[in-house]
Amino acid sequence: MFKIVNREEMAQGTIILNEIEAPRIARKAKPGQFVILQSNEKGERIPLTMADVDPDKGTITIIYMVVGKSTASFGKMAVGEEYFAVIGPLGKATHIEKRGKVVCVGGGTGIAVLHPITRGLKEAGNHVTTILGSRNKDLLILEDKMSKASDTLHICTDDGSKGHHGFVTDVLKDVLEKEDISLVVAIGPVPMMKFVSAITKEKGVETLVSLNPIMVDGTGMCGGCRVSVGGETKFACVDGPEFDGHKVDYDELSNRLRAYLDDEKKSVDDSEKNA
């Protein structure tokens, strides 16, 4: 079960793609849904969005940034090795419909999460403008695929090594000025989603964001993933992960993502010591 059948490195090895055998999940998964994985019995349960699925082949694809102990252990697994557990599909699927002109904004590995949604929006007949951001040109992922899934593609880099020199929000403001946009989908680091939402809120453009709080079970059983949306507590794993970007309390989310900062460091130190 859960054998890795394909593995690719992206962004100079900082981002990894795994295609994994998971036939039951592949049959059911829809854009926007995620899985929870454990590389071994002692491993943490890690949520990752499915960047692609192949129901005929019975595989799912995840794309993740190596940020800590668990993603590092995933990254070390070779083709042929098996994940100990893969659970899903979890969360609500993105509601995809024809809205007219839409903008998809992606940053970091959020681009991987955004890709199936962008493709879905285009297939549903929308005119899709995509804005991708990364620190520099080498860390940008899925440019070709995103280009195919979009009508117009803008690239932004923090250091100006490719495309617009600056943030995705600069380009977004521009697009919102010039065109009549009915929906913005923004997926990426929390500050990015926060700033995008602030801009679109001012313009009154509906905005969907995908939240990534710390999770345990992913089935609504623990409440660890709670986020405040419009003053109400929601469980991101079952009520989300997508929410109305104008209503999310991003500062609370940023805080909660730092809950285990000291332990995460300890975990990495400990595994390096053992290696």
Partner 1 sequence: MAGKDKKIKVPRATMPEQAPEVRRRNFMEVPLGLTDEMAMTEAARCLQCKKPACVEGCPVSVDIPGFIQKIADGDFSGAIERLWDKNALPAVCGRVCPQEIQCEGNCILGKKGSSVAIGYLERFAADKARELGTGALPKVAEKTGKKVAVIGSGPSGLTVAGDLVVKGHDVTIFEAFHQTGGVLVYGIPEFRLPKDIVAAEVATLEKLGVKIELNSVVGSTVTIDELFEEGFDAAYVGVGAGLPRFMNLPGENLIGVFSANEYLTRANLMKAYLFPEYDTPIARGKNVVVLGAGNVAMDAARTAMRLGADSVKVVYRRSREEMPARAEELHHAEQEGIEFVLLTNPTQFFGNDEGRLTGMECLKMELGEPDESGRRRPVAIEGSEYRIDCDLVVVSVGAKANPLLTNSTPDIDLNRWGNIVADPATGKTSKKAVWAGGDIATGMATVILAMGAGRDAANSIHDYLTIGW
Three-state DSSP at 180 gives coil
CB of 119 to partner 1, least distance (A): 22
Measured between alpha carbons, how far is 134 from 157 in angstroms, rounded to an integer?
5
Residues 115/142, Cβ–Cβ less than 8 Å: yes
Measured between alpha carbons, how far is 260 from 121 in angstroms, rounded to an integer?
36
Q: Is position 84 an interface residue for partner 1 (rule: CB under 8 A)?
A: yes
- Return the DSSP state at 248: B
Q: Is position 227 an interface residue for ligand FES (rule: CB under 6 A)?
A: no
Measured between alpha carbons, how far is 68 from 115 in angstroms, rounded to an integer?
24
Q: Out of 11, 113, 132, 185, which residue is the one contacting ligand FAD (CB under 6 A)?
A: 113
CB of 223 to ligand FES, least distance (A): 5
Q: Out of 34, 195, 235, 250, which residue is the one contacting ligand FAD (CB under 6 A)?
A: 34
Q: Is position 42 an interface residue for partner 1 (rule: CB under 8 A)?
A: yes
Q: Where are the alpha helices (DSSP H) in the chain?
A: 23-28, 69-75, 110-123, 143-149, 168-178, 190-203, 236-239, 250-257, 261-274
How many residues touch ligand FAD (CB under 6 A)? Answer: 25
How many residues touch partner 1 (CB under 8 A)? Answer: 44
Choices 82-90, 98-106, 126-134, 173-181; region in contact with partner 1 by CB under 8 A: 82-90
Q: Is position 93 an interface residue for partner 1 (rule: CB under 8 A)?
A: no
Write the single-letter amino acid at 49.
Answer: T
Q: Is position 259 an interface residue for ligand FES (rule: CB under 6 A)?
A: no
Q: Which residues bind ligand FES (CB under 6 A)?
A: 215-218, 220-225, 235, 237
